A and B are shown apart, each in its own frame.
Chain A
Amino acid sequence: MAALFCAGGVAAASPTSIFAPASTPARELNNLSIFVLAITGLIFVGVSGLLVYALVRYRARKEDVTEPPQVFGSLQIELSWTIIPILIIVVLFLTTARVLYKLQDAPEPATALDVTVVGHQFWWEFRYPQYNVTTANELHVPVSSTAAPRPTFMKLTSADVMHSFWVPELAGKTDLLPNRVNEMWIDPQKPGMYVGQCAQFCGSEHAKMLLRVYVDMPDQFAQWIANQQRAQPELIQPTPAAQDPSEESAPNAGNAGIVRAAASRIPPNSPATRGNIVAVSGEESQEISAQAGQYVFEHEACISCHTVAGTVATGRYGPDLTHLMSRETLASGAAPNTRENLLAWIGDPNQIKPGSLMPAMHLSDRQNEQITAYLLTLK
């Protein structure tokens, strides 16, 4: 009992308690768990009470060396402690089955928000197919009320190894498996931020595959979606010479290059469409500015893994950076998303998250500063 009160006290201080449900699945599980705890608690009190009584009552007295009467068994008693547990199990099983089917086989309403969750070593990718939005690590969903139900139905899969999606206050966990799609749903009723993390061991940085779910009011959510749908501009405009389509030395650059390439049906990934012929003047390349940062970002390996929608950066291996600065954390929650942390992260991700699959690119300090300046504009 004392332990239970202690637990209550500690639970109040934790943002990840399974006994503080904020969504229907978590609430159903919470109610079920209280019922099961009550039954098992009664069994424990009964059995341990009998045991303590027997140990005290039947302890040997020092001077007594005689043997007690030998009893070999009793069919009636054996039957009673076979049948009573069977009855308890019937009750527990039927209660469980009701909750199980209700949650797992719930139909998806037409108003539901679809989200595709893709697990990666060691971060989360969230896609909103209804809105053509991709983001990472911080899931935004609208609040759902009985008046205007808007649950979020998630399809979960993995790009590499097994992971598990767990935000205890919203729902139980569901694993993310490569080559397979699992499903789960939540309908959070209170706006706010809910935290969780990967719950299936997935490699070196399993512990820092943290997870945040922001439950927004409907208008906030609409605003957030609208912002996420916005593409980012190419900051470097091609030089007048490069704009001349007849100029072979600088055929394409930036967006203009892609547009022209699309018109002339050059495959989008061909060298001709990469804006890498744009020259930055000596002065510009020394300057710590967003433009110079984008130049470095697009001319180093960054774009092999990262996407910034609207620019030539279309890598898919790492998190989508289009609206990086709309997120509060870096590296799947490993650090707050500040300028200092960004700079440190780009310099050497292993300092913040050893085992992270993003390599240190060994750029100069100036280049790191420039990239950071660029990333800070991705709001």
Chain B
Amino acid sequence: MGAESMPTVPGIEAGLDRTSGSTRTGTYLEIVHSWIVTVDHKRLGILYICYALVFLLVAGVEALMIRVQLFFPHNNFVSPFSFNRLFTMHGTTMVFLVGMPILFGFGNYLVPLMIGARDMAFPRLNAFSFWISAFAGLLLYYSFIGGVGLAGAGSAPDVAWFAYAPLTERAFSPGHTVDYWAVALVASGIGSIGTAINIIATVFCMRCKGMTLFRMPLLPWLYATTAFLVLVAVSPLTAAQAMLMIDRYLGGHFFDTQAGGSAILWAHFFWIFGHPEVYVLVLPVFAFANEIIPVFSRKAIFGYAAMVAASVGIGFISLGVWAHHMFTIGMTSFGNAFFTLSTMLVSIPTGIKTFNWLATIWGGKIRFATPMLFSVAFLFQWVIAGLTGIMLSISAWNWQLHNSYFVVAHFHYVLVGAIVFMIFAAIYYWYPKITGRMLNERLGKWHFWLMVIGFHMTFDVMHFPGLLGMPRQIFTYEPDRGWTLLNQIISVGGFIQGIAVLVFVYNMVHSYFRGKEAGPDPWDAWTLEWSTTSPPPDYNFVVDPVVASRRPLWDLKHPEDPDSAFE
């Protein structure tokens, strides 16, 4: 089923411009210049991904420093002040400078290719969005040098990633560290909103001939849902940051409890953003799973329409669950009951998705290449993360679990076990398309198994200190609580994951120069991005593609049994 056996059909095969050279000429300066001024969606996608990977390493180092500090009770590896900065920066970085950019990067790269377009709808807005996001990251990290805070000069934000009021008010956070945090998030929010507008416009206006909404691959569908969520969710965050800055510099009292403001108001604003944000991060990785699992199971996705409905359903329901982060803040019993039920409702569409992936695998012929290995681990881990999510939605039990290490374990199961694992799967899957070379399978398997072992050592075990009463965000703990051994296992697991990521980085660099040539369609896949060269030319397709089904390349490869006959 290699690319060589592909029959020629006008409209798609003609898109394969094998003459387009990927070697770029010019001096070093010219190459750098061309990357800075580029408005090409593929190059911006690569910039987003590289930018996010750099911050992944930075925030990973922060996490490991946290783990060293917690290895022993009453440890003195870092001061309490530094520890508070470390976990604040780790959380903020992972969400705003790693998660969102890397997913937007893939969206940028893949959405136009998968819908047969030549670029995003607004290429210059796209470049603006990237560069303002990049500015946000640099600004946030400049606070390590330039921010004056509670503990003197050179102080990063130290108010936790949700920055509950009134700790962020000037009475409790003098200096400028909170300002760096607020302004950086506003800047990154502007970038996110720009990208969201761009993705929506691209998906709805730029599809190639024949691609109705219901012939679109699931990835653009999920990216469109995500983009709507970004529009709805990031705006309250930006508003809240503006209110915070008004409190801090213009004498406002929104969250200033000493002058009659409300601490709960901030919590509402933050979580109205914060909960949909989880889905902003997780829907794109569902999108990756929707592409990768069928290709490696050699079957079409099971229940396409149900998958679309479930994704859009998750998008809607996720807007009405935010106060499940606030079950202990003193809501009425009716409020607690309402958000218990609404949170539980999310499990229905997510359950549908999970079972549909299972049904896609069922009856297939599964190939366990590295992208599929990561996807399988994702499926297991996603099931566990969903079940601990149900436990946390039980508002009464949540009074025990809230703000404990159980919660930390749960959301790392989502953010690492599901999202990071699926991002790795996506990198192994699309790296050949992006660079023209395969990642090394052997190193990939090393990466995978180290990651799985490290992940489960860290995050399975992490549930237990939470059940034993260990609150999150503490720089040290008492030796008599029974948490010591558990924390040591967690820390060792963290370092194993660190090694796994180093193997991955080495694989990326090594394969870029030495990897096997990929060819246009190394995985024998079915969506449009595989119909053009790897890497694709600037204009993506020589001739605009025309499609007749959800799997245009399946139709090409199986003219005797085309999908278009059934749709």
Contacts and interface: CB of A to CB of B under 8 A. Distances in A.
A29 B397 contact: yes
B391 A72 contact: no
A131 interface: no
Interface string B129-165: 0000000000000000000001100000011100011
B397 A33 contact: yes
Contact of A73 (B304, B328, B344, B481): B304
Contact of A161 (B151, B164, B330, B468): B164
Interface of A: 3, 6-7, 10-11, 13-19, 26, 28-29, 32-33, 36-37, 40, 43-44, 47-48, 50-51, 54-55, 58-61, 64-74, 77-78, 81-82, 85-86, 89, 92-93, 96-97, 99-101, 103-105, 121, 160-162, 164, 166, 168, 171-175, 177-180, 182-183, 195-208, 210, 354-355
B481 A15 contact: yes
Contacts of A198: 471
A85 B348 contact: yes
Contacts of B333: 100-101, 104-105
Interface in B290-322: 297-300, 302-306
Interface string B371-394: 000001001100110011011001
Contacts of B476: 207-208
A123 B156 CA distance: 25
A58 B400 contact: no
Given A29-B397, A96-B340, A174-B328, A166 B471 contact: yes
Contacts of B564: none
Contact of B302 (A28, A55, A71, A206): A71
B520 interface: no
Contact of A86 (B329, B348, B355, B472): B348
A278 B219 CA distance: 82
B167 A14 contact: no
A115 to B, nearest CB: 17
Per CB-CB distance, the 5 closest pairs between chain A and chain B, nearest first, are A172-B399, A16-B469, A14-B482, A207-B474, A178-B257
Nearest to B464: A7
B192 to A, nearest CB: 25
A89 B329 contact: no
Given A72-B304, A103-B396, A206 B474 contact: yes
B167 A96 contact: no
Contacts of B486: 10
B395 A55 contact: no
B403 A199 contact: yes
Contacts of A203: 84, 150, 167, 172
Given A15-B480, A59-B366, A92 B263 contact: no
Given A7-B464, A164-B328, A18 B400 contact: yes
B362 A160 contact: no
A78 B471 CA distance: 40
Contacts of A195: 481
Contacts of B329: 175, 177, 182
A335 to B, nearest CB: 11
Contacts of B362: 54, 58
B534 interface: no
A60 B366 contact: yes
Given A32-B396, A89-B345, A174-B328, A58 B365 contact: yes
Contacts of A58: 297, 361-366
A26 B396 CA distance: 10
B344 A93 contact: yes
A179 B328 contact: no
B262 A179 contact: yes
A173 B328 contact: yes
B363 A69 contact: yes
A182 B330 CA distance: 6
B337 A180 contact: no
A59 B368 contact: yes
Given A67-B365, A101-B333, A85 B480 contact: no
A32 B366 contact: no
Contacts of B379: 51
A82 B344 contact: no
A55 B481 CA distance: 41
Given A16-B481, A59-B366, A161-B172, 18 more contacts: A14-B469, A18-B467, A44-B384, A59-B368, A68-B297, A68-B299, A68-B363, A70-B563, A72-B303, A72-B566, A73-B306, A103-B396, A172-B397, A173-B399, A179-B260, A199-B471, A201-B473, A207-B474
